[in-house]
């Protein structure tokens, strides 16, 4: 019975071990659920079981901890009797089985031991000599090594010196060739050129001496002023008119007692007179493509004498933004803009209010109260355009711009998009203009984009009268104090 129970237990254990070869965590037909952090396969199968690779190492093999056990001694102890050798009495071997040495062997041993003592003495005497010889040999070897290193270093220095000498020789030869060429070719050529320049300077000196001599001849008589300044003067042209200066010509005005007087041209006949000419374009004799500082100070010719003894004919000029601002800020000011085309037709635009601020605000323009037949470009922009294209041509409220001081509304800060640079002169540009009195002067009126420097309408333009591609013959701007005509 016990035997049957033991056999049954062994069979059960064998079955259990074979069953451990499978992962028995669920039904084999049902797919396993994969945990987000797990490493189980997506489908169940007969994966072989693998032992833990971090288990204990296998047992040590090879070698024995103990020697073999000794065999037991026999029960009856027998003692072997010593056999005495016939040559007993001589020197014996270390092993008793080898017998006895003859007496001559012992004598040989004694003789060898005596010789060993004498040999050791000789060796001890030779050892210091060998050591001294070794040290000498080492010193000689070190000396020879140092000599070899020194020889190699000297050979290297000699090689470097040879290369340096060769390089300097080549450079000296190149410099010698260059100097020779310079002395033989360049110097004579330069001397001939300088001689020609010297001859030209001598001719210029002679011409200057003749000019100075002629000027001395002319200056023997007192010089006379071609355009004498009238005695009458005032704060502006209206003040001069009221003081008796009724002729249209050049005068001196002094709007502010803290600033010196300056020359201007007064129109004392148009619309009851009193007009101060601040801008004039007549014949294109003056370039209006100027810098900011020039527009600030003013430029051009005030007036000319045509043979009557006084300067009654205005020239082309810009009065200057500082002076225009100073006059318009003295009180209410109106502006009259007159223009003429190349056929002789004339129109005008008049604004009852006209003010230019100081340089601190970049001379902002403010106008109002339009009348005239030229078209209200300052307040309404170009009437041939619509929507934003028209409003961006309005000049009222704009700052003054020149090609070196961009204050327009066309992409501020972009040097490639500047109205003043493209349209030929300084003005109160927006993006860009409906009027361009300071543009480039084109003779004949009509011009094209191919004639323009940048392909833009850069002429002396008043778009509401003649459009973008017609450059006017004359245009002028005049200001005077605004007052009620009935109270005059």
Is 115 part of any domain?
no
Radius of gyration of the chain (CA): 62
Residue pair 453/251 in contact (Cβ under 8 Å)? The answer is no
Summarize the chain as % helix, strand, coil (round to 5).
Answer: 40, 15, 45
Is 297 part of any domain?
yes
pLDDT value of position 225? 52
Is 367 part of any domain?
yes
What is the domain count for the chain? 1
Helix or strand (DSSP H, E) at 4: helix 2-19
Burial 167-181 (b: 16+ CB within 10 A, else e): eeeeeeeeeeeeeee
Look at the alpha carbons of 407, 412, 415, 420 in this order and tell me if their dihedral is positive or negative. negative
pLDDT tens, residue order, the chain (488 aa): 555 555 555 555 455 454 444 333 344 444 433 333 233 244 434 334 333 434 444 554 444 444 544 555 555 555 555 555 444 445 555 566 665 555 555 666 777 777 777 778 888 888 888 888 888 888 888 888 888 888 888 888 888 888 888 888 888 888 888 888 888 888 888 888 988 899 999 999 998 988 888 888 877 766 555 677 788 889 999 999 999 999 999 999 999 888 899 999 999 999 999 999 999 999 999 999 999 999 999 999 999 877 666 788 899 999 999 999 999 999 999 999 999 999 999 999 999 999 999 999 999 999 999 999 999 999 999 999 999 999 999 999 999 999 999 999 988 778 888 999 999 899 999 999 999 999 999 999 999 989 988 889 999 999 999 999 999 999 999 999 998 755 54
Is 386 part of any domain?
yes
Q: Which two tokens stand for residue 32?
A: 């396993």
pLDDT value of position 224? 55
Q: How far apart are CA 391 and CA 396, in angstroms?
A: 11
- Domain enclosing residue 447, as ranges: 237-487
Is 400 part of any domain?
yes
Neighbours of 290 (CB within 10 A): 22
* Threshold 0.85, pTM exceeds: no
Is 252 part of any domain?
yes
Which ranges of 434-482 does DSSP label H, i.e. alpha helix? 463-466
Helices (H) and strands (E) in the chain, counts: 10, 15
| DSSP 8-state code for residue 185 | I
Q: Say if residue 201 is exposed, middle or buried (CB neighbours under 10 Å; 0-12, 13-18, 19+).
A: exposed
pLDDT value of position 316? 95
SS3 string of 10-58?
A: HHHHHHHHHHCCCCCCCCCCCCCCCCCCCCCCCCCCCCCCCCCCCCCCC
pLDDT value of position 461? 96
Q: How far apart are CA 19 and CA 122, in angstroms?
A: 88
Q: How far apart are CA 236 and CA 327, in angstroms?
A: 8
Look at the alpha carbons of 421, 422, 428, 430 in this order and tell me if their dihedral is positive or negative. negative
Is 74 part of any domain?
no
- β pairing state of 91-92 and 100-101: antiparallel
Q: How far apart are CA 230 and CA 250, in angstroms?
A: 8
Is 91 part of any domain?
no
CATH assignment at residue 439:
3.90.215.10
| Secondary structure class of 103 (helix, strand, coil) | helix
Q: Say if residue 264 is exposed, middle or buried (CB neighbours under 10 Å; 0-12, 13-18, 19+).
A: buried
């Amino acid at each position: 019975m016990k035997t049957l129970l033991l056999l049954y237990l062994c069979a059960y254990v064998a079955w259990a071990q074979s069953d451990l070869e499978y992962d028995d965590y669920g039904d084999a037909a049902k797919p396993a659920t994969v945990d987000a952090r797990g490493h189980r396969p997506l489908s169940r199968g007969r994966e072989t079981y693998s032992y833990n690779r971090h288990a204990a190492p296998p047992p040590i093999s090879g070698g024995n901890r103990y020697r073999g056990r000794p065999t037991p001694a026999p029960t009856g102890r027998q003692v072997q009797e010593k056999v005495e050798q016939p040559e007993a009495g001589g020197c014996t071997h270390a092993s008793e089985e080898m017998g006895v040495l003859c007496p001559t062997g012992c004598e040989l041993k004694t003789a060898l031991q005596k010789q060993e003592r004498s040999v050791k003495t000789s060796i001890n005497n030779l050892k210091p000599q060998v050591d001294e010889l070794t040290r000498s040999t080492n010193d000689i070897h070190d000396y020879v090594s140092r000599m070899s290193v020194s020889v190699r270093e000297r050979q290297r220095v000699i090689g470097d010196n040879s290369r340096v000498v060769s390089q300097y020789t080549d450079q000296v030869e190149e410099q010698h060739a260059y100097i020779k060429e310079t002395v033989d070719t360049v110097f004579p050529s330069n001397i001939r050129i300088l001689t020609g320049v010297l001859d030209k300077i001598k001719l210029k000196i002679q011409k200057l001496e003749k000019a100075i001599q002629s000027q001395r001849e002319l200056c023997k008589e007192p010089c006379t002023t071609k355009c004498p300044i009238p005695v009458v003067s005032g704060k502006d042209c209206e003040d001069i008119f009221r003081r008796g200066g009724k002729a249209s010509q050049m005068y001196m005005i002094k709007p502010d007692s803290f600033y010196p007087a300056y020359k201007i041209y007064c129109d004392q006949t148009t619309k009851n007179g009193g007009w101060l000419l601040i801008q004039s374009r007549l014949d294109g004799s003056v370039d209006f493509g100027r810098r900011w500082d020039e527009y600030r100070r003013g430029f051009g010719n005030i007036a000319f004498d045509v043979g009557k003894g006084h300067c009654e004919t205005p020239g082309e000029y810009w009065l200057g933004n500082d002076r225009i601002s100073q006059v318009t800020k003295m009180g209410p000011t109106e502006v009259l803009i007159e223009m003429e085309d190349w056929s002789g037709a004339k129109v005008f635009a008049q604004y009852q209010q006209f003010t230019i601020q100081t340089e601190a605000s970049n001379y902002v323009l403010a106008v109002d109260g339009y009348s005239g037949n030229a078209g209200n470009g300052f307040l309404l922009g170009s009437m041939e355009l619509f929507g934003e294209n028209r409003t961006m041509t309005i000049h009222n409220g704009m700052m003054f711009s020149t090609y070196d001081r961009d204050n327009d509304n066309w992409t501020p800060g972009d040097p490639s998009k500047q109205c003043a640079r493209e349209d030929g002169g300084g003005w109160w540009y927006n993006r860009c203009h409906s009027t361009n009195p300071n543009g480039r002067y084109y003779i004949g009126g009509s011009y094209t984009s191919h004639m323009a420097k940048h392909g833009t309408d850069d002429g002396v333009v008043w778009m509401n009268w003649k459009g973008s591609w017609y450059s006017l013959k004359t245009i002028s701007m005049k200001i005077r104090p605004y007052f009620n005509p009935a109270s005059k």
